[in-house]
Chains A and B, each alone.
Chain A
Amino acid sequence: MSMQLEPLKPFVWRVPMGTVPGMRVPGIVFATEELARAIEGDNAIEQVANVATLPGIVGASFAMPDIHWGYGFPIGGVAATDPEQGGVISPGGVGFDIACGVRLLRSELTLADVDDLRGLVAALGDRVPRGVGERGRMRLSRSEVEKVLAEGVRYPLSQGMGWQEDEELCEDFGVLEDALPDEVSDRAIERGAPQLGSLGAGNHFLEVQIVDDILDERAADDMGLFPDQVCVMLHSGSRGLGHQVCTDYLKLVDASMREEGIEVPDRQLACVPVKHEVARRYLGAMYAAANFARANRHVLAHLVRETFEAFLGRSAREMGLRLVYDVAHNLAKMEEHEVEGERRLLCVHRKGATRAFGPGSLEIPEPYRGIGQPVIIPGSMGTASYVLVGTDEPTAFASTCHGAGRAMSRTQAKKRMSGSELVKQLEGEGIVMAASKPRLLAEEAPYAYKDVSQVVDACEGAGLSRKVARLRPVGVVKG
């Protein structure tokens, strides 16, 4: 179904009330003119309107410039609900890959310090478990998984992996304390136990990148970013554990919703009041899965440091392989926001959207309080990625985009070019490729995605975030 967006002001578009029956608030989409036209051709606007029907939704059903058609929620959707007004929580507003996110490591190196880039990328590919069915670096017992679920990055830290400072430089300082590991099913624990420290498949990746352009010198300086610097970006999530948590609770929430007499236009929007017992359990289990996701990226970053050490023959500390930040883009959290002049505790769903708190927030690491929370935006494979920061006047409950956003289905993408042709093209552009399954690679081809530069420009234009640095890939490791 194709629908039209109403222009409100530059970079801001409205999905009017009545677009679908039962909307409680309008939809607001942030986009450039060109992106808006593309969005109108997708089914995503109907999904923005569907989310606007959720009980207790506050302000608007928001969509970031990288919005595209998802299941239930659009990818790029942000919705906050007020528990005091019957507000609901929806597992579909988080998705199956709970706390999927991005971690950026910087270094004191430039490309000139890496004599054999191809060898380094191959070594990373060998060291980092990836792909379907691949087991992680850590094999955990049940009680160890439970510790990860409760302690997040503190558990691998206690096992001697990573650096103490990594904890502070992670969203929520590495752990959501309100996690309830007991609410995570045996099946989820069984799936997670062999997977900690594995990248996964699909759009998950590890890239060696170079800082290509500094767009905000002060913020870049506070993050330790400089031109030509070697960085490593990791994109992964909570693996099978998170998928199973969502699967389990979707069923429970679907059943409870019927009992509560709540109706939604798409069953994948199944939701239950935040104050309901099932919501309490889901929130606790979802937070636990988020802790697993952070710990997973923490272990992966440890493997990256080890690989650099072994390959370049210098210590990771000497090479300055420090964490810039780790932030999720599939999560719902209880957060305080100002609504109509008063602070209210809201349940903020970000499905393919990133939290972007402004300067001064106590929720962000102390070194960044002067500039705002870092936001890490992975581009599509072989294209630029960005580092952004939150702004002084946070918009859409302090949220911004999460990536380029798909523009083409996987089947269409594969028709355009074969995986091996794509590898050849990217290698021709000077990017070293290590992909375990070249045949599927074309699904993630750059042409299947929107232009990430336009997406971050739209975010800046709309006041969601500011650009700090652009990075370009020189090595890609894919599952």
Chain B
Amino acid sequence: MTRSYELLEHTADVGILARGDTREEAFAAAGEGLAEILGSWFPGRGEEHEVRIEGPDVEALLVAWLDELLYLSEASDAVFGGFEVDRVEETRLLARVRVAPRAGRALEGQHVKAATYHRLRVAQEPPGWTARVFLDV
């Protein structure tokens, strides 16, 4: 499976355009993009944490997924070690996230307030899937 992401320009904020062979991989790539923006991407670190989210549609799930990650990082003062999205259905997402204590590390990233619905898009674009989301920073 392959996944990738690029960061999108916006006057005040920043966007993520994530790609994957599957919808699940595109969502996982969006998680990695967020972790990189936050400066809290430490691949392989930490313990696995299960995430289950429900929402009205796939786009709302993308926002809720990133909001869940933001909540996790802030409430438990944690950094990220990995993202495995097991299933993205129309109204439900199942994933596993590796989180590790920040443990006093100074993070060289941006503060992200939340994921927004602005220009939000999840679509099948051969050869795979794309997920686009803008963040309030």
Contact = CB atoms under 8 A, between A and B. Distances in A.
A68 interface: yes
A412 B116 contact: no
Interface string A50-92: 0000000000000000001111100100000000000000001
Contact of B137 (A43, A267, A410): A410
A70 B12 contact: yes
Interface in B75-125: 75, 77, 102, 106-111, 113-114, 116-120
B51 interface: no
Interface in B32-71: 38-39, 55-56, 59-60, 64, 67, 70-71
B71 A68 contact: no
Nearest to B135: A71
Which of B10, B70, B120 is packed against the most chain A CB atoms within 10 Å? B10
Which of A44, A70, A266 is packed against the most chain B CB atoms within 10 Å? A70
Given A202-B110, A255-B56, A412-B9, A71 B134 contact: yes
B13 A71 contact: yes
Contact of A187 (B13, B75, B106): B75
A201 interface: yes
A109 interface: no
B74 A240 contact: yes
A436 B9 CA distance: 24
Interface in A225-243: 240, 243
A247 B117 CA distance: 10
Interface string A243-272: 110110011001100100000001110100
A460 interface: no
Nearest to A243: B113
Interface in A431-473: 436-437, 439-440, 443
Contact of A96 (B64, B102, B109, B136): B136
27 contacts: A69-B10, A71-B119, A71-B136, A72-B117, A72-B118, A132-B38, A133-B77, A133-B102, A200-B111, A240-B75, A243-B70, A243-B113, A243-B114, A246-B114, A247-B114, A251-B64, A254-B117, A266-B117, A266-B119, A267-B59, A268-B117, A268-B118, A407-B11, A409-B10, A410-B110, A436-B106, A440-B108
Q: Which 4 A-B pairs have the closest CB atoms?
A: A71-B118, A201-B111, A267-B117, A96-B113
